[in-house]
Amino acid sequence: MNRFIIILCLIFFAVSGYSQVKFEKEERIKRAEAPAKAIRFVDSMKLNNRVKWFRETGYSSISFEAKTKHKGKRVSVEFSENGTFEDIEIEISTDEIPDSTFAKISDHLLASHEKYKVDKVQIQYSGEPIIVLNYYLTNVVAGDLIINYEIVINTKVDGAFARFEYLFDKEGGFIQKSRIKLSMTDNIEF
């Protein structure tokens, strides 16, 4: 009976740690392979540049992403497997985050990591699709627009290279941390 409890505990800790690891395999697809609902949303954004479509496969989910450039910035629009809108992310620099917000983000990162390098920063807009689309087109907030910051960092953990994705709210409050796994397997493949 004692062994059984130990095995259950090990499984529990393995599963709870698993949820904090993020893996996404991105595969380029044709526009016609994306959900119709997602295509309609992206078309309504009135983008001037070419849009590239991707299917993202994670540990337990499939999603779709449309990527383009708009006004010199990388923009990605994410959708669930069935085409339900999730968010718009726009790549920005750390200078574009309000000083007080970035100070809170930096404090959190420094408390978690001795040294790190910011690899990517995105401002993330989510909420009701029509509200997010309206804000994207007009820069006018007309409803409950959710603004977050997604920060990807490179660091070392126990002497080994590690990559993490952090999510912070618009005031710099910590929401979530995920370790980014670069491949589905830790084995060397030949």
Q: Is 121 exposed, middle or buried (0-12, 13-18, 19+ CB in 10 A)?
A: buried
Distance CA 48, CA 29 (A): 20
What's the pLDDT at 48?
Answer: 86
Residue 2 is given by DSSP the state: H
How many C-beta atoms surround the C-beta of residue 164 within 10 A? 21
**123 vs 159 pLDDT, higher one:** 123
The 10s digit of each residue's pLDDT in 163-185 is: 999 999 999 999 999 999 865 54
Read off the pTM.
0.82
pLDDT at 188 over 60: no
User: What is the average per-residue pLDDT within 120-127?
Assistant: 97
pLDDT at 97 over 90: yes
What's the pLDDT at 71?
Answer: 87
151-162: burial string, b at 16+ Cβ within 10 Å, e else: bbbbbeeeeeeb
User: What is the average per-residue pLDDT within 70-79?
Assistant: 94
Question: Picking from 83-87, 108-112, 142-146, 185-189, which range would have the lowest pLDDT averaged per residue?
Answer: 185-189
What's the pLDDT at 99?
Answer: 97
The three-point CA angle 80-44-51 to 5° equals: 70
The three-point CA angle 40-42-45 to 5° equals: 110
What's the pLDDT at 9?
Answer: 40
User: What is the average per-residue pLDDT within 50-57?
Assistant: 95
Cα–Cα distance list, 92 to 21, 30, 39, 85, 149 (Å): 24, 27, 25, 21, 10
What's the pLDDT at 181?
Answer: 84
What's the pLDDT at 22?
Answer: 66
pLDDT at 59 over 80: no
The 10s digit of each residue's pLDDT in 132-148 is: 999 999 999 888 999 99
What strands, in cross-sheet order, belong to the sheet with 160-169? 21-22, 174-180, 160-169, 145-157, 116-127, 85-92, 73-80, 62-70, 52-57, 25-29
How many C-beta atoms surround the C-beta of residue 147 within 10 A? 15
User: What is the average per-residue pLDDT within 142-169?
Assistant: 94
